[in-house]
Structure 1
Amino acid sequence: MSNLITFYEHQSISFEKLKEELNLSKNKFIGLFKTINKRNNLTVGDSEDKEDDSIFKIYYDKIKAKHYVGFVAVDNKVIQVLPKVFEESDYEDRDKIIAFIKMMNFADNLNIKEQELAKVKDVAQTPTIYEVFIYLFASSLLNEIERGFYREYIKVREEKKFLKGKLLVDKQIRKLPHQRYKFSIEYHEFTENNLLNQIFYYTTYISIKKTKWQINKKLLSELMLIFDGINLRKINIHDFKRVHFTRLNERFKKPFNLAKIILSAFGEVEGEDAIGFFVDMNDLFEKFICSILSKSLEFEIKYQSKFNLFSHVEGIKNVEQRPDYVIYKNNKPLLVLDAKYVKINEENGKPTISPDILRQVYTYAKYYSKDNRNINAVLIFPKSKNYNNFDSKTKIGEATFFDNEIKLYVLTYNLEKLIEGDGVDEEFIKCVEELIEQ
């Protein structure tokens, strides 16, 4: 397929291969990647020595993906990045995409049902992230519309020959004599031609032009017929902010969130410069683990605010620190947890943790142990069959810091559960529960 290229996080692809896969000249595909970086308000990397926070890093002979997973469609070319934990696995790309969306579903409460994602596996077509999002949008929106089209009262101001609703006196008295045969009126109309449906209609209109999947074309064609009569207009960045959900339209929140993703990804939101949909996997893994723990444990999981590293400081700036989350019981901290979306190095068959990570998590535990209660620390890393898989154990190691007060536990979370099941690693949950009991 000459309009799709798939990276994995931190994977480099040579100019030669990009030229072949994208069917573009060197200057054109370099310009394409520079546009992606620029339009996402990030700097463009052009050397190995230059640190930047771009989506892709551009070298003299290759382009390297960074720690963002997602996709972008520019000039009929689709570039997608998949999670690094599945790079060497035997799973199909479709399974890896579904696993990524499941992570988002846990982390951001997208309310996507397991059955919906299961149906995606039956679609025997080119697996791309945007096609899956379009399918979820179209199928979930059709399901809700079958329960009833959304209508609401909207304020209408018009010039009419007859009175209806409220006369706008201030506007009426300023009219010239030849204009007074019409009344300036304001009234409320209960209609399906409201902002929410206009967003859905425009998303449908854009999606049907982009999709290649036959199932998506079928679903979107049905929606186009349903929305006949709704104003088709370009959606701007403020329109999304103007939609407010109540108990009357709450059921449309899922397709609304998916519509935001789709329109932003295709650069179709007026006033929004960014193009593409990319997620920082460090943040996503952190939120995913927090969601899993919150749903599985009977204890309170808190995101922590920053604390100052120094209690007294002269002549230098204080340093702020923040652990990912702390488990509490009866308002007392039990465990400090830090999720790290990185690959663990090995030395002589044993996992080797970065000294910076160890110093960081020790500081967190020491801070929350200030009430003479020693709080232990937990580091959590992702794993799959070929990534951070140490003898298939969840707890891959433990140690006691030099002060003999704080213990460290190193755990892994099996992300293959997102492909093979509901996403919950029961062994991981059991392990955390045992550490809490200790």
Structure 2
Amino acid sequence: MLGNLFPLNSDKPFTDQEKVGHNRYHPEIPPVATVKPGDSFRVDSREWFDGAIKNDDSADDILNAPMNKVHGLTGPFRIEGAEPGDLLIVDILDVGPIPQEEGPLAGQGWGYTGIFAKSNGGSFLVEQFPDAYKAVWDFHGPWATSRHIPEVKFEGLIHPGIMATAPSPELLARWNKREGDLIATDPNRVPPLALPPEPDEAVLGGISQDDWDRVASEAARTAPPRENGGNQDIKNLTKGSRVFYPVFVDGANFSIGDLHFSQGDGEITFCGGIEMGGYIELHVDLIKGGMETYGVAENAIFMPGRQDPHFSEWISFSGTSVTLDGEQRYLDSHLSYQRAILHAIEYLSKFGYSKEQAYLLLGAAPIEGRLSSVVDIPNSCSTVYIPTAIFDFDVRPSANGPHQIDPGMGAPKAADPTYG
């Protein structure tokens, strides 16, 4: 083990650290360190808003979250000998919250989940939930509980939301062209269809001042997943996972960030995982020429770890590709998953949860989302599975009727409900 190659001081902002990471993708961002195939090393990671979200009972910080700052990524790391066309092997050896610290930063004994306002990112169910809400979760070893969502407790499925290699100049240009073309179809949409390069709040590591303006105007936002991996938010990329990333530039220039204590499939509230800072230990290796050998021209393949909590009983909800207004859509799996989630929210509200509490819970807890049928025209069928063990009560339907929880203070809502 090489030790911590990217230490973070919790008392300093992300940009004032010993080594400065980045929050945009560009092939010219220089590596902060070099490792060799076969090396193992540890790095620290800052939560995606660098401390802007507080451990309190207000959602105003979610409403006003500084979207241009995300994501603060650790790296990039040059892998000695890596060349375009190789596959980079990344093993997750360990991952967790900021060790032995309690304090004001997410990861210091707590994390948060947010429903984002329509005017500031939105969410999977943005039309039904256009306003900003927040839930704070306290960590108790492997467990999470929340004063904002009572009578639930579950083990964390800790994972990085982002792991990525750097794009080549050609790949970066393709991203900017296709996403720019999409934005042009509805440039004033709220929330936007995509995020163009944005120099404001850009963090570009060791880019020189002479090149800063040009690189900032070209560098891609880290919000979506792309061919290099990126913000895939795959909850199963936890301890014990092995991931194979395509290499597009010499050295691969691998980065990591956006740690989550837990998350449900889809990260449906946008800030749907339990966001936190922390650490991650990695082992890297190379398969020379692996992209051609294994047909991995784009997007990573992975072998999920086996360290996740195991549940034996589930309560599940289905949805089909019919809108709330009764309009039939053709095999729209995105819509059918929305409908499944809405059915689960409606069900949980019968136990005394507000619909916002239920939505936040489904974003944070280790729910499973599945495409159950995608061939039976015209209706796609999607399902969401909720482990029954996360509840302190029997959540199953019965002749006795639903248990009534005490909702407590509820999930904080932003003071300004205006969403544009």
Q: TM-score range by the shorter chain?
A: under 0.3
The TM-score normalised by the length of structure 1 is 0.20
Larger CA Rg, structure 1 vs 2: 1
The TM-score normalised by the length of structure 2 is 0.20
Structure having greater relative contact order (Cα 8 Å, sep ≥ 6): 2
Indicate the structure with greater helix content.
Answer: 1
